[in-house]
Structure 1
């Protein structure tokens, strides 16, 4: 069995989601061959660079414009059709990769990847691999919705209900949870010399108002050490290191942390942008979760959903009620049915294997 995972490098979460499920699949069955491909690299190299730069510029420099585009595409499918025509050469490249890897199915962790895979299936019809989509945010967007998709893996019953209202049949939607590391609940050694800390993250790209957030927290004299992850943002990293020099006992600055969820296990609280994977890991580990200002689009929807369901609080709410952390578990013991599944990657892996096995037996 050959499985092609198709992601997009607009942040680190989409690749991580693919890796978590792929690792689980190969652990279950050593005969399964998994392949990874970045959907953006199927474009011409110059165009790939342009897309990434434009995306970063819009979400960080022109959030209002990006928000308008997000909402427009949410309620209008014409953009999907235009994009499908525009990236026709990428679809041809995807077919070449599928032929080379002998893919039985294509598993997509990003809507752009799913668009290309669905376009390929529309062309090849019955000769195409099975197409599956793993949704890593907590609210659906139209850019995820393609009739060629055979199976969706969604984080919640609420999203399943949303998709049923859009006309999807229940047998094509599996409520599995957002993919998480297979070893997320394994114990990690605690360094006795390490002071208790709050973990603060701006995501893989280190975007958002992280610097001003750190300054604000340090001035509030909470007494807690802050461990901050700057991500790939070199400018932010240097600015935070300068602040660290002034607060050596209260601030620890890291560029990146492999397996951030292990560092999260020993944190007193987690302050982060509302990216789907990070908030899921915090919920699984039952950490107090404070959501920083979101990037426009999916993160705004995540914040609204998680706050509404009682799984997190916004940073603005935290500033008004700083003692809420001390009473977190009493206040949030009943999360209105919202759960993050520690076995999500296992559930998804089993569904993919079963679907591919069933499809192969029918050929």
Structure 2
């Protein structure tokens, strides 16, 4: 992905590229993590190239940050069904013309406009659709490239003024071309940090984290906001899988973490954590990961090679409720003592007990970058963006 961005920026040679601006938006944590992965890859591969990463909302007035960023967090954590309905009702098969964008750019995002015009940027690479809505295609504005961090395509991602798109899969590329005819789209995968390619083995991760090496472990996550972790952890414990320990990472959802700790105090069947900086260690230590089907988290789990059980919520995925209701027992051989990773329905191509990339390089192969259903490619760090 990185090389394709560089080739897109300059028609002469890479030395002539004046600099790259990477723009994310702090609605959740996935957009920021993707931007950081791109930034780190540029720093490692072309360290001489000036690269700057900014959070778009940090450049906006406080009331805009509160309404846009905090409003998303409030709906996603407190009213996920309402958020899901908003997500569905704002979707459409047409591109998003965002006619309000240029006016909002001049009136509400003046600091962003100043940054775009402050120097000769070779390109602006966005991991959120809002920068494209505001400024893509404007006079004197650098060419925009957009990294779509979702596994499904929403109307807001289809920005006709964006110069190039990078998406998770060929299927998503086809959907985008249908909405934005002749759009330059590359199916590159979603960028994830290099740490996920270099994760430790399952045994090493468990030793480091103090997890029983012989116990079945289900890791429950809900992104940085901890969406749905409390309910999912309770359901995992209620599945009554013999010997199962559920590790719940609650992120910034302190209330959910407190309730889970009270409920499972003194019972090691559920281990509760808040926000962790080394989530790749916990993914590597797990037998199965249960999480919301967000693009970044899904890509990180697949990069390590752990089986993933998505749960519904937030409007980004549908049709997984019945799978979850059948419970974890079906994924561990219905009590026959088999690890979830050994179950044929959830084994990941290229996965092994090492937990990390095994013998995979950062580039990987199509077999290791895709699920058997032709799902998203997952690239970790460096040139494999």
TM-score range, shorter chain: 0.7 to 0.9
Q: Does 1:245 align with 2:262?
A: no
Separation in 1, partners of 2:41, 2:122: 17
1:321-336 equivalent positions in 2, closer than 5 A: 321-323=330-332, 326=340, 329-332=343-346, 335-336=372-373
Q: Which protein is richer in helix relative to its size? A: 1
Are the structure 2 counterparts of residues 10 and 262 from structure 1 closer, same or farther at C-alpha, using a change threshold of 3 Å? same
The CA distance in 1 between the partners of 2:135 and 2:100, in whole Å, is 15
Structure 1 residues 237-246 or 273-282, which shifts more?
A: 237-246
Distance 1:138 1:34 in 2: 27
RMSD: 2.7
Aligned match of 1:27: 44
Alignment pair present for 1:199 and 2:212: no
- Superposition deviation, residue 242 in structure 1: 1.4
1:139-165 deviation per Cα after TM superposition (whole angstroms, max 9, x unaligned): 211211222211100110001111222
> How many positions carry a matched residue from both structures?
330
1:264 aligns with 2:283: yes
After superposition, the Cα gap between the structure-2 partners of 1:326 and 1:236, relative to the gap in structure 1 and judged at 3 Å, is closer
Moved more, 228-237 or 336-345: 336-345
Tell me how far apart the structure 2 counterparts of residues 339 and 167 of structure 1 sit (CA, whole Å): 21
Residue 58 and residue 79 in structure 1: after superposition, are their counterparts in 2 closer, same or farther (change >3 A)? farther
Answer yes or no: is 1:190 the counterpart of 2:202: no
Provide closer, same or farther for how the CA distance between residues 339 and 93 of structure 1 changes in structure 2, counting only shifts above 3 A: closer
Q: How does 1:1-363 map to 2 (within 5 A)?
A: 1-75=18-92, 80-82=98-100, 84-100=102-118, 102-118=120-136, 121-122=137-138, 124=139, 127-169=140-182, 172-188=184-200, 189-192=204-207, 193-195=210-212, 196=215, 197-208=217-228, 210-222=229-241, 223-247=243-267, 249-296=268-315, 299-300=316-317, 314-318=323-327, 321-323=330-332, 326=340, 329-332=343-346, 335-343=372-380, 346-348=383-385
Q: Which moved more, 1:216-225 or 1:135-144?
A: 216-225
Pairwise CA distance, 1:80: 2.6
- Separation in 2, partners of 1:64, 1:220: 24
8 Å contact 1:6–1:108 — kept in the other structure? yes
Please give the TM-score of this superposition, normalised by the length of structure 2. Answer: 0.77
The offset of 1:69, in angstroms, is 3.2
5+ residue gaps, structure 1, are 349-363
